[in-house]
Chains A and B, each alone.
Chain A
């Protein structure tokens, strides 16, 4: 059981270091997946919106971390 818990924790840490950063990425994908099909936006812009949002999440996360001592 302890071994399984360790494996689970290892796998979790593979993808998540800052939980709010990971949650923001997943949330952004969910929002776009749910919201964008409801609007008539050209296809090429949808990818751009996904990308720009991810960049914004990345920049906000590193700046937030840099502000911490």
Chain B
């Protein structure tokens, strides 16, 4: 299999970390459903969503392979850039204290309280449990499918490493979820979001540049330089935002 490690490394890292963030978010809600309404509805909702997402992957994957590489690079690069920059922006704002950090424990508490207020049907089909678990798995899973399909389709033989990264993240989250039976609040969600934002923004920039016909100096090695450049910009931005908030007296 001919693959460039400068592509495979960021691909697996981005797929693993991004999927980890999404699966942790899904696990919080699924656990809340399972604890309050029972495992049956929660697991059936998850399974149905995973089935739907598998169908999407089965259709999307081969379809993307038929589109010319340059068109895929431009479309996927643009989407990756928008997605990665969105995460990067959010991670910077959270690190600077401009917006609140994602709190899995708080979300879990809110969800369980909301679910407790709804009547649990006895011996019949628990539509609320199924729908809640289905919605969160489908929502977070869609993001995982996009990340895996996007970064996997923009280079030769990258879909397998990207899928393995996502599957490894799923394995880690399911194992930890089974072991601790509570939300994984110790996972540094914002740091992961920052890393994924850096990698996806760098990959998106690289592919958009290639699609526009720019020749990057150092070819694939440029990706590492772009990651470093985005990291420097992110750190400077965090410091600038923190100083600005202090000056405005909003801390």
Are A and B bound to each other?
Answer: yes
Q: Which residues of chain A have a CB within 8 Å of any CB of chain B?
A: 10-11, 14-18, 21-22, 25-26, 29, 32-33, 36-37, 43-44, 46-47, 50-51, 54-55, 57-59, 61-63, 65-67, 69
**A14 engages B143 (CB within 8 Å):** yes
Point out the residue from B79, B142, B229, B236 that lies within 8 Å of A51, measured CB to CB.
B229
> Whole-angstrom distance from the CB of B75 to the nearest CB of chain A?
12
Distance of A25 Cα from B88 Cα, bound (Å): 13
Distance of A21 Cα from B146 Cα, bound (Å): 21
**B96 engages A22 (CB within 8 Å):** no
In the complex, residue of chain B having the shortest beta-carbon distance to the beta carbon of A44: B217
Distance of A46 Cα from B240 Cα, bound (Å): 28
A51-B205, A58-B237 known; 8 other A-B pairs, CB under 8 Å?
Answer: A18-B86, A46-B214, A47-B216, A50-B205, A50-B214, A51-B226, A54-B205, A62-B92
Interface-facing stretch out of B116-124, B156-164, B179-187, B243-251: B243-251
Sample 5 A-B pairs with CB under 8 A, ordered by A number. A15-B82, A17-B90, A47-B215, A47-B216, A67-B244
**B89 engages A62 (CB within 8 Å):** yes
For chain A, what secondary structure do more than half of its interface residues adopt (helix, strand, loop), or is it mixed?
A: helix
**B209 engages A47 (CB within 8 Å):** yes
> Whole-angstrom distance from the CB of B103 to the nearest CB of chain A?
19
Task: Give the size range of B's interface with the partner.
Answer: 35 or more
**B208 engages A17 (CB within 8 Å):** no
Distance of A58 Cα from B72 Cα, bound (Å): 24
The answer to whether residues A15 and B89 also contact, given A43-B215, A44-B215, A66-B98 and a CB cut-off of 8 A, is no
**A43 engages B214 (CB within 8 Å):** yes
Q: Please, which residues of chain B bring their CB within 8 A of the CB of A36?
A: 212, 214
Question: In this assembly, does B27 line the interface, its C-beta being within 8 Å of a C-beta of chain A?
Answer: no
> Whole-angstrom distance from the CB of A67 to the nearest CB of chain B?
7
Question: In this assembly, does B81 line the interface, its C-beta being within 8 Å of a C-beta of chain A?
Answer: yes
**Chain B, range 198-251, C-beta contacts under 8 Å to A:** 201, 205, 208-209, 212-217, 222, 226, 229-230, 233, 236-237, 240-241, 244-245, 248, 250
Question: In this assembly, does B26 line the interface, its C-beta being within 8 Å of a C-beta of chain A?
Answer: no
Question: In this assembly, does B78 line the interface, its C-beta being within 8 Å of a C-beta of chain A?
Answer: yes
